[in-house]
A and B are shown apart, each in its own frame.
Chain A
Amino acid sequence: DAGVIQSPRHEVTEMGQEVTLRCKPISGHDYLFWYRQTMMRGLELLIYFNNNVPIDDSGMPEDRFSAKMPNASFSTLKIQPSEPRDSAVYFCASSQENEQFFGPGTRLTVL
């Protein structure tokens, strides 16, 4: 297995633009997690899914953030409209039997 796949790896956009981050979990993993990492706030859990169903989205900072998992092999995290304070590295992770494996991350810069 190729591991968790994320795209794009880097994204630079201007304030107000829509940003869509993509994730393909490891095949057979039934949990998927979205995290955000910054120097100031560390590693934050935004939302996670179990069998494609959102379980806990209490970490989503505000309504500008939304996440979907239309099937077991794909998830998106969307920010609309984006703001400079959204600049961070966004990680997707998938797990089975508690062991979480992280993707390479998407480094988002909002100008």
Chain B
Amino acid sequence: GENVEQHPSTLSVQEGDSAVIKCTYSDSASNYFPWYKQELGKRPQLIIDIRSNVGEKKDQRIAVTLNKTAKHFSLHITETQPEDSAVYFCAASINFGNEKLTFGTGTRLTIIP
């Protein structure tokens, strides 16, 4: 089955700096890669996703890049703000018709004011 590894497990950055979280996956058939943000005491919420026919996707200060050859994808947050502090999870899914997500172990991001 699919295995997703996520690094780092914790990350602290100064407010205004950029943060990068990286994930690798094992199953080359995976073609959907979402990122979830979970604030303390809240539910995981989808913040951005990318499908395998696209190499990069941006949404304001957030971007995700995908390298299918190397089987890794990354989340980039620019101009970080205190409200970006949360746990971030990456995930991978094989295809439509089997919508099970395999999650990474999470990255606790702390933005230092």
Encode contact with A along B28-63: 1 for CB under 8 Å, 0 otherwise. Answer: 000010100000001111100100000000000000
Interface residues of A in 81-97 (CB under 8 A from B): 91, 95, 97
The answer, yes or no, to whether B105 is at the interface (CB within 8 Å) is: yes
Main secondary structure of the interface of A (DSSP, over half): strand
The answer to the question of B99 belonging to the interface, with a C-beta cut-off of 8 Å to chain A, is: yes
| A45: Cβ under 8 A from any B Cβ | yes
Q: Which residues of B contact A91 (CB under 8 A)?
A: 43-44
A104: CB under 8 A from chain B?
Answer: yes
* Closest A residue by C-beta to B101: A100
What's the tally of chain B residues with a CB closer than 8 Å to chain A? 17
Residues of B within 8 A of A63 (CB): none
Instruction: Decide yes or no whether B100 CB sits under 8 A from chain A.
Output: yes
Residue B110, interface by CB 8 Å: no
B96 touches A43 (CB 8 A): no
Partner of A43, one of B42, B44, B100: B44
A11-B100 Cα distance, complex, nearest whole Å: 27
Q: Chain B: which residue is nearest A103 at the CB level? A: B43
Contact count band on A: 20 to 34
B residues bordering A, Cβ < 8 Å?
32, 34, 42-46, 49, 89, 93, 96, 99-101, 103, 105-106
A-B contact pairs, 29 of them (CB 8 A): A31-B99, A33-B100, A33-B101, A42-B103, A42-B105, A42-B106, A43-B44, A43-B89, A45-B100, A48-B99, A91-B44, A95-B99, A97-B99, A98-B32, A98-B34, A98-B93, A98-B96, A98-B99, A98-B101, A99-B46, A100-B34, A100-B99, A101-B46, A102-B43, A102-B44, A102-B45, A104-B42, A104-B43, A105-B43
